[in-house]
Amino acid sequence: MDRVALRGLKARGHHGVFPREREEGQTFIVDLVLGLDTRPAAADDDLAKTVHYGVVAEEVVDVVQGEPVDLIETLAERIAQQCLKHAGVQEVEVVVHKPDAPITVPFDDVTITITRSRA
């Protein structure tokens, strides 16, 4: 399986369990690796035979900016399901970064990584 990766998609969302997170929002960063067969697109040099990563990026940002959820696990699942709606995408790895998580000790980042595929 071939891979198309999008790294560092940034969007502001209002996800989290604390009222402050819901009210003020924060930046979330998303990394994606889409698994698909790119041979048909490469053979015909045809965008319609692959995944349009620009469209995927916009959809992911819409999910992050959309309906708030408590957990980044839920957010990652929603992103994965959106990516799998694209016919050519057979598998997706989603990493959601929450660099401004409300943690009381110094830290660099909080992430969740999930992998989902067509059943």
Kindly name the residue from 10, 49, 85, 98 that is annotated as catalytic.
Answer: 98
29 vs 16: CA distance, rounded Å: 14
- Give CA separation, 112 vs 28, 41, 50, 71, 107, in Å: 11, 31, 27, 10, 15
Contact predicate 4/34, CB 8 Å = yes
Q: Give the DSSP letter of residue 13.
A: E
CA 93 to chain centre: 8
- For residue 54, give every residue at least 6 positions away whose Cβ sits within 8 Å of its Cβ, in sequence order, or none: none
Identify whether 98 is a catalytic site residue.
Answer: yes
Catalytic residue ranges: 98
